[in-house]
Amino acid sequence: MARAIICVLAVLILAACSLEPEAPTAGDGEVGRVLTVIDGDTIDVDLNGETVRVRYVGVNTPERDEVCYSDATRANRALVERQTVRLVADVSDTDRFGRLLRYVYVGDTFVNQQLVAEGWGEAVRYDPDVRYYDQFVQLENEAERAGRGCHPTGIFDDGSTTR
């Protein structure tokens, strides 16, 4: 009997310690309005009257001179253009170019995640900002198997998961 209780407690503890990261709560992050969509993973946001450039954490989309750039940019625009966004930091505040590094939400839509799930972006590990990396890798694999977004072009087939 005692052994059964210990086993049940162990299962409950493991369930409580799920590896799935917790989603931010409504009070997390800063709120701003998207002014410009730069490309598939970068936006300019009005944040408290100041224009700031925001780079999405954990996702990389094709660059201006690459195949599927326009499609990925269009997908990002459809999600965020002129929208109020919530910007949530992971570990780092800015990158070497001075851009804010953030997870971006429009309402309940997790934009970084959506771009990867739809195949417009690839999961990329930007240490130390890795809160959703494993989840993004799973979504990228599913998008690739389903031939969604940019995957049929082969743009993400460089074998690299870091930038």
By annotation, the residues acting in catalysis are 55, 63, 99
Residues constituting the chain: 163
- Structural element, H or E, at residue 7: helix 2-16
Report the 10 Å Cβ neighbour count for 74.
14
Continuous H helices in 29-122: 69-80, 111-117
According to DSSP, the β-strands at 50-56 and 100-106 are parallel
Distance of CA 4 to CAs 9, 128, 152, Å?
A: 9, 40, 51
